[in-house]
Structure 1
Amino acid sequence: MDGPDGEYPLIRQYRDWIQNSPSEDGPEREQFFRQGTVVLDTNVLLSLYEYTPVAREQVMGALRSVQHRLWLPHQVGLEFVQNRHRIIIGRKKALEDASKALQKKLGEARTAIVDARKLVQDLLIKYAQDATAKEALESEISDEAVRALHGEWSKALGNHVQRLKEYDLAISSVNRGDPVLSQVAALFGDKIAEPPDPAELRRRVDEASSYRFPNRIPPGFADEGKGTPLSSSGDFLLWEETIGHMADSPERSHLLFVSNDTKDDWYQPAGNGLSSRPWPSLASELRTRTAAELRIETPGEFYRGVNRFLDAEIADETYAEIDRAAKHLVEVVISEQEAVHVQPGQELIAAAFDAAVLDESLLDNINDAASRLLFTWWLIGVTAQLGRRPRFDDEPDVAVAPATRSAIQPAPTWLPGRRLHLGEWPYRSSSWIAPWFAQTVTSASRHDRQILQQLAARQLDFERTDDQ
Structure 2
Amino acid sequence: MIEPEEKMGDPVLLQRFAAWLQPGPTDGDAERSSFFNNGVIVLDTNVLLSLYEYTETSRSEVLSALEQTAGRLWMPYQVGLEFVRGRRSTLESRKRALSDAAADVNKKLMAARKAIVDAKNVVCAQLDKYARAHQEIAGLDALVAGSGVDAHLDVYRHEFKRYLDMLKADHGLALSSADAEDPILVHIAKLYGDGIGQQPEDSVVRGRLEEATAFRFPNKIPPGFSDSGKDTPLKSAGDFLLWEELVEHATKLPVGSRRVLFVSNDTKEDWYEQGSGPSSSRPWPSLVDELRRRAQADLRVETPPHFFGGVREFLDAELAADTYAEIERVSESFEEKVPDTPLVTEETAAHLEPPDGLALDAFNSVGLVSSTVRAALDSASPSRRLFQWWLIGVTAQLGRRSVGETEPSVAIATATRSSEPPSQNWVPGTALPPGEWLHRNSSWIAPWFMDLLDSIPQADRAVLRRLAAQQAESNRRSRS
Measured in 2, the distance between the counterparts of 1:283 and 1:360 equals: 58
Alignment check: 8 A CA contact 2:273 2:281 kept: yes
Alignment partner of 1:253 out of 247, 251, 258: 258
Alignment partner of 2:245 out of 228, 241, 245: 241
Paired AA for residue 323 in structure 1: E
* 1:259-295 per-position Cα deviation (integer Å, ceiling 9, x unaligned): 1111111111114999211111000000111111111
Q: Say whether 1:75 aligns with 2:81.
A: no
Q: TM-score, normalised by structure 1?
A: 0.69
Seq. identity, %:
43
Measured in 2, the distance between the counterparts of 1:171 and 1:384 equals: 27
Alignment check: 8 A CA contact 1:353 1:359 kept: no
- 1:222 alignment partner in structure 2: 226
User: Are residues 176 and 286 of structure 1, via their aligned partners in 2, closer, same or farther at CA, if it must alter by over 3 Å?
Assistant: closer
- 1:279 alignment partner in structure 2: 284
Q: Say whether 1:332 aligns with 2:335.
A: no
- Map 1:109-124 onto structure 2 (within 5 A): 109-120=112-123
Alignment check: 8 A CA contact 1:58 1:313 kept: yes
Greater alpha carbon shift after TM alignment, 162-171 vs 11-20: 162-171
Greater alpha carbon shift after TM alignment, 16-25 vs 39-48: 16-25
- Map 1:141-156 onto structure 2 (within 5 A): 143-156=146-159
Greater alpha carbon shift after TM alignment, 7-16 vs 305-314: 305-314
- 2:267 alignment partner in structure 1: 262
Q: Gaps spanning 5+ residues in structure 1: where? A: 337-346, 366-374, 399-422, 426-445, 448-468
Q: Say whether 1:55 aligns with 2:58.
A: yes
Give the 3-state SS of the residue equivalent to 1:68 in structure 2: coil
Alignment check: 8 A CA contact 1:355 1:383 kept: no
Alignment check: 8 A CA contact 1:46 1:80 kept: yes
Alignment partner of 1:101 out of 100, 104, 107: 104
Give the 3-state SS of the residue equivalent to 2:309 in structure 1: helix
- 1:351 alignment partner in structure 2: 358
RMSD: 4.3
User: Are residues 97 and 271 of structure 1, via their aligned partners in 2, closer, same or farther at CA, if it must alter by over 3 Å?
Assistant: closer
Alignment check: 8 A CA contact 2:358 2:392 kept: no
Give the 3-state SS of the residue equivalent to 1:70 in structure 2: coil
- 2:19 alignment partner in structure 1: 16
Q: TM-score, normalised by structure 2?
A: 0.68
Q: Gaps spanning 5+ residues in structure 2: where? A: 1-6, 343-353, 364-372, 398-402, 411-446, 450-454, 457-480
- 2:421 alignment partner in structure 1: none
Alignment check: 8 A CA contact 2:98 2:164 kept: yes
- Map 1:14-413 onto structure 2 (within 5 A): 14-120=17-123, 143-166=146-169, 167-175=171-179, 177-251=181-255, 252-271=257-276, 275-326=280-331, 327-328=333-334, 332-333=338-339, 349-351=356-358, 354=361, 393=405
Q: Report the alpha carbon displacement of residue 135 of structure 1 after superposing the two structures with TM.
A: 9.3
Which of structures 1 and 2 has the bigger CA Rg?
2
User: Are residues 274 and 118 of structure 1, via their aligned partners in 2, closer, same or farther at CA, if it must alter by over 3 Å?
Assistant: closer
Q: Report the alpha carbon displacement of residue 14 of structure 1 after superposing the two structures with TM.
A: 0.4
Measured in 2, the distance between the counterparts of 1:207 and 1:352 equals: 43
Alignment check: 8 A CA contact 1:334 1:397 kept: no
- 1:429 alignment partner in structure 2: none
User: Are residues 159 and 295 of structure 1, via their aligned partners in 2, closer, same or farther at CA, if it must alter by over 3 Å?
Assistant: same
Paired AA for residue 333 in structure 1: P
